[in-house]
Amino acid sequence: MSITPSSGHPSEPSTHLVEIHRTPDVLTFTLNNPDHGNEVTGAMFSAMLAELRSESPQPRTRVLRIRARGKVFCTGRERAARDAESARAEVSRLIEFKRLVRTSSLISVAEVQGDAFGFGMGLAIVTDFPLVSENASLCFPEMTHGLAPAAIMAYLGEYALPRFAFPLVLFGEPFTPQQAQEIGLISRVVPAANLTSEADALIARILQLDPGAARRCKEFFLTAQSNSFEKNCELAVEALTAGTLAALARKK
């Protein structure tokens, strides 16, 4: 069913192909397009983007949980474009969605209960904690269709050494969750029966953290990856000063 955001904030129309649910602390996206391998359509992108954009000015939740119904997690995205203008709009939308998932102050958890191909695997990687069922098959199949997966290559090397990452996108062959974990693409391989409980426990741990400190931790962690050591040392002085003052204020 379609769940309309309960925040009262305006958003683009939702769709029955993605369920959007909010609690005070957790925003959940549940892909609900199992008849088509949970392929993400334009309407699904729009609904999820609207929610993430509404969090940017003033975050209301603390965790983003991405999961799916059916046997597979996500086997790709809709490719409806037929000309240059629509192709650019289509790929810009998917890039923006991944960017917001990665850079949002919400700490993100992906429950990959089944196969994750192309966009699906790329989406799992940009979450903070990709938990993957041990029986899932993973793949970047774009090159087998004559398309270089630039959207994934834009960040793949930040998670895995290029020597390991490049063959995955060049040949498009399936790989196992265990292989993905070994090279740094996912956080944890989980028995299928335990996946939901593992995600529940992880989210509970995140929610035990101080909200402001957790947001600052993620923000600085992402910033530090793109800066030099010297620049990070400068930024650390400011970040630690602000964090110390915030901690002192809580004790008063």
Eight-state DSSP code of residue 41: P
Instruction: Report pLDDT digits (tens) over 111-133.
Output: 999 999 999 999 999 999 999 99
- Give residue 83's pLDDT: 86
Q: What is the pLDDT of residue 4?
A: 39
The mean pLDDT value for 139-160 works out to: 93
Task: Output the pLDDT for position 136.
Answer: 98
pLDDT at residue number 84: 87
Taking the C-alpha atoms of residue 193 and residue 190, their distance in angstroms, rounded to an integer, is 8
Task: Flag whether pLDDT at 41 surpasses 50.
Answer: yes
Contact predicate 33/39, CB 8 Å: yes
Residue 246 pLDDT grade (very low, low, confident, very high; cuts 50, 70, 90): confident
Residue 1's pLDDT is 35
With residues binned 3-state (H G I as helix, E B as strand, rest as coil), the percentages for the chain, rounded to 5, are 50, 15, 35
Distance CA 40, CA 32 (A): 9
pLDDT tens-digit map of 77-117 = 988 778 888 889 888 999 999 999 999 999 999 999 999 99
CA distance 234 to 140: 38
